[in-house]
């Protein structure tokens, strides 16, 4: 999907903390959702923004993560990210959902930096399925 791996040396990318992976994954997921929404929605921008906000919410990301069958390496990243000590929390989410959303974003970041493009696209596609977009 995105090829930013050349921006950091491979060794440095492999050493990112779970919260750094989540920071990266948040940007990747948000960009994916926005591109998808602009492609399918011919509505005013405030409606497009509301649609994107639904798909990028902590609650939705938590639900998506819970629906995925994770591989062993992914389970480890998710566990570490879920247990990471963040200094802040989401405005509109329960702590449990916020931690799972952070884990979802870390998974996305992990898949991107490890060039697991097919799996990344599967996870991103799962994040835009089965959600009312009205």
- Known catalytic residues are 26
Give the number of residues written for the chain. Answer: 134
Is residue 82 within 8 Å of residue 100, measured between CB atoms? yes
- Give residues with Cβ within 8 angstroms of 101, minimum separation 6: 57, 58, 59, 61, 62, 65, 90, 93
């Amino acid at each position: 999907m995105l090829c930013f791996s050349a921006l950091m040396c491979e060794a440095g990318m492999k050493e990112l903390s779970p919260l750094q992976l989540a920071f990266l994954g948040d940007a990747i997921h948000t960009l994916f959702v926005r591109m998808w929404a602009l492609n399918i929605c011919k509505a005013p921008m405030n409606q497009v923004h509301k649609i994107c906000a639904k798909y990028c919410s902590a609650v939705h990301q938590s639900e998506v993560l819970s629906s995925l069958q994770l591989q062993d390496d992914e389970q480890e990243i998710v566990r570490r990210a879920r247990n990471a000590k963040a200094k802040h929390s989401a405005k509109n989410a329960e702590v449990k959902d916020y931690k799972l959303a952070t884990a979802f974003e870390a998974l996305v970041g992990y898949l991107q930096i490890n060039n697991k493009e097919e799996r990344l696209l599967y996870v991103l596609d799962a994040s835009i399925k089965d959600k009312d977009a009205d």
